[in-house]
Amino acid sequence: MINLDKRVILYLGRKPDFLTEVRLRDDGSGPYIKEWNISSEKAKPTDDQLNALASQAQTLENNEVIRNTRRVSYGNIGEQLDLLYKDLVAGKVDATGEWAKKIKAVKDANAKE
């Protein structure tokens, strides 16, 4: 089951600790839930319940890839602060500043679903 971790997150409404609360495994025939140690919070989901979350899980995964791409494209925080400082000195701490234009270009090139 592709995106099993994302489906579990959606089912629970939060990210569990995948080392202690929910353990996933793939023995070659596809991923599955090996251990579900949070039954007091919510019962272990059925395959049908997880399959119903497939589309949302794919969107969650796609957006995670986009966030990682954006993070790299933004550059390090020092470079961003330098651009902000230059915009501040130039009186352009608004959408016309270089920092704002760079951030907008990255977001436009890597739109979330």
Question: By the 8 A CB rule, do 62 and 113 touch?
Answer: yes
Say which residue the tokens 């920092």 belong to. Answer: 99
Residue 90 backbone phi and psi in degrees, to 5: -85, 0
Whole-angstrom distance, CA of residue 87 vs CA of residue 99? 7
**pLDDT tens digit sequence for 44-72:** 999 999 999 999 999 999 999 999 999 99
pLDDT value for 2: 82
Predicted TM-score (pTM) of this structure: 0.74
The rounded mean pLDDT for the chain is 94
Q: What's the CATH class of domain 1-57?
A: alpha beta
Write down how long the chain is: 113
